[in-house]
Amino acid sequence: MLKVYNTLTRKKEEFKPRKDKEVGIYTCGPTVYNHAHIGNLRAYVFADTLFRYLKFAGYKVKWVMNITDVDDKTIRDSKKAGVSLKEFTEKYEKLFFEDIEKLNINKKEFFKIPKATKYMKEMQELVKVLLDKEIAYIKDGSIYFNIQKYIDSGHKYGKLLKIDMANFKRGERVEADEYEKENVQDFVLWKAKKESNEPSWDFKIEGKNYPGRPGWHIECSAMSRKNLGNPFDIHTGGVDLIFPHHEDEIAQTEGAYDVPIANYFMHNEHLLVENQKMSKSLGNFYVLEDITKFGKPLAFRLLALQTHYREKLNFTKDSMLQAEVALTRVYEFIRKLLWVEKTGQKDRVSFLLKKVEKEFSVAIADDLSTPRALASLWESIAKINKLIDEGLLNKKEANLFYDFFLKIDRVLGLGLDEVLQPKIDPTIVGLINKYKKATVNKDYETKDKIRTEFNKLGYKIEDTKYGIPRITFLGEK
């Protein structure tokens, strides 16, 4: 049973999906105007771990992550760069996917990756429903969400924040996408075009055109509804998105359709650098490339998992160096397990395996407690390493642990199944992929052939209980 901390209730709750075996997750994706920084990457490692875990637990998971390719920042900076909005945002979108791929977040795993500029119709439809219900109004060519009207029609504003509405000043408006917590104001749904060279879209309402562009919040309400329906199961993002972004997403969807946008909101805490907020002026603003001087990208993934997603993560160069050492140790341990050749029946470790299996699943199911899960793994690795060094572990037992570690790596994503895949040789990688495919297709003839080819190349490939083939380099001992 999975328990998750739901920002809507401020409690850890049992996770109950809307459909029996299917889960819909919506993650607020990157605003593509710059390289993603390591704080952003923490947010996606968290969402990916949640996605992986739900898949691992047997759900069919529809994971949707949007790309914000039109907002104040993308418009401002594309203009500065002197290129079109499309060219500008496509560049950063590509860089974003290159970065997350290095963290084992696979683009192919997403159900949909909607881009805001492709959802104008859906956004305008939503705005029209709000106008029809008089929860939105037009002012100087822009369209705003009327918070007082929303409240008067029986809704509650401030579901995530628990805002004191007594301090809410009626009639004030804000046009920027991001605004301060003290300012609960009518927010913008559609922004009128102001300068002639500004990117804009037509918006016809009752025969009149309102050229402009969407506000940031409406983008996510429209894209999540179109791809997952309402309510979908889990909405994720960093804590900075609680207000105003998610609060306003909730209000738009509920105001228009009288349904909650999502049943659970899960928010990751921020990453700090040397205990400070990352900022360019402090010189502590890191992107993935900056930190890979100190360790592999997957060491950063490990580092992110070592802190619970609801805790602040204090990044330091030292912590990255340590994560690199820890990851290398795990890789070495996996290789070592495969080199165990000792035969024999005496069972020394089944209790240990049961213990770590249980501790791992209990920890992860407890609001994704990856630090606890990892602590349990480290403990078992130390014990098994000792047994190997003392020549007390037999091959059968070593294989069981190998299989277990590869199985749980489907949740952790630390690249353990790649440890033995010699990346240098694309022939081998190609053969492994063919082998995996043949396994799925139950094509035993092809599998036999691949096995023989592997032997010729100096490797052994075997099936394991969990469907991930085990590859042994016969030459290495």
Tell me the residue number closest to ligand AMP, measured at CB: 238
Q: Rule CB under 5 A: which of 208-227 touch Zn ion?
A: 220
Q: What SS3 class is residue 322?
A: helix
Do 459 and 428 touch, CB atoms closer than 8 A?
Answer: yes
Q: What are phi and psi of 311, to 5 degrees?
A: -100, 150
Map tokens 């901390």 to a residue.
5
Whole-angstrom CA distances from 56 to 48, 52, 61, 276, 466 are 12, 6, 10, 35, 11
In 3D space, the residue among 243, 258, 215 whose CA is nearest the CA of residue 127 turns out to be 215
Q: Among 6, 31, 49, 78, which residue interacts with ligand AMP (rule: CB under 6 A)?
A: 31
With binding defined as CB under 6 A, does residue 115 bind ligand AMP?
no
Query: Among 2, 25, 28, 192, which residue interacts with ligand AMP (rule: CB under 6 A)?
Result: 28
DSSP secondary-structure letter at 424?
Answer: T
Backbone angles phi, psi at 170, to 5 degrees: -70, 145
Residue closer to ligand AMP (CB basis): 28 or 468: 28
Which string of x and - marks every residue 220-239 that binds ligand AMP (by CB under 6 A)? -----------------xx-
Of the candidate residues 6, 7, 35, 40, the single one contacting ligand AMP (CB under 6 A): 40
Instruction: Return the ∠ at Cα 136 (arms to 181 and 182), rounded to 5°.
Output: 10
Using an 8 Å Cβ cutoff, are 60 and 115 in contact?
A: no
Q: Does 28 help bind Zn ion (rule: CB under 5 A)?
A: yes
Q: Which does 40 bind (CB under 5 to 8 A by kind): ligand AMP, Zn ion, none?
A: ligand AMP
Residue 220 binding target from Zn ion, ligand AMP, none, CB below 5 to 8 Å by type: Zn ion
Which C-beta is closer to ligand AMP: that of 174 or that of 272?
272
Q: How many residues bind ligand AMP (CB under 6 A)?
A: 15
- Nearest approach in angstroms of CB 393 to ligand AMP is 40
- Using CB under 6 A, which residues numbered 243 to 302 contact ligand AMP? 268, 270-271, 278
Q: How many residues bind Zn ion (CB under 5 A)?
A: 2
Q: Does 250 bind Zn ion (CB under 5 A)?
A: no
CB of 309 to ligand AMP, least distance (A): 9
Burial class (CB in 10 A: 0-12, 13-18, 19+), 70: buried
Angle between helix axes 120-132 and 247-257 (nearest 10 degrees) is: 70
CB of 47 to ligand AMP, least distance (A): 8
Tell me which of 4, 25, 43, 136 binds ligand AMP, using CB under 6 A: 43
Number of neighbouring beta carbons within 10 Å of residue 151: 17
Q: Find which of ligand AMP, Zn ion, none residue 413 binds, CB within 5 to 8 Å per kind.
A: none
Which residues contribute to the site for Zn ion (CB under 5 A)? 28, 220
Which residues contribute to the site for ligand AMP (CB under 6 A)? 28, 30-31, 39-40, 42-43, 237-238, 240-241, 268, 270-271, 278
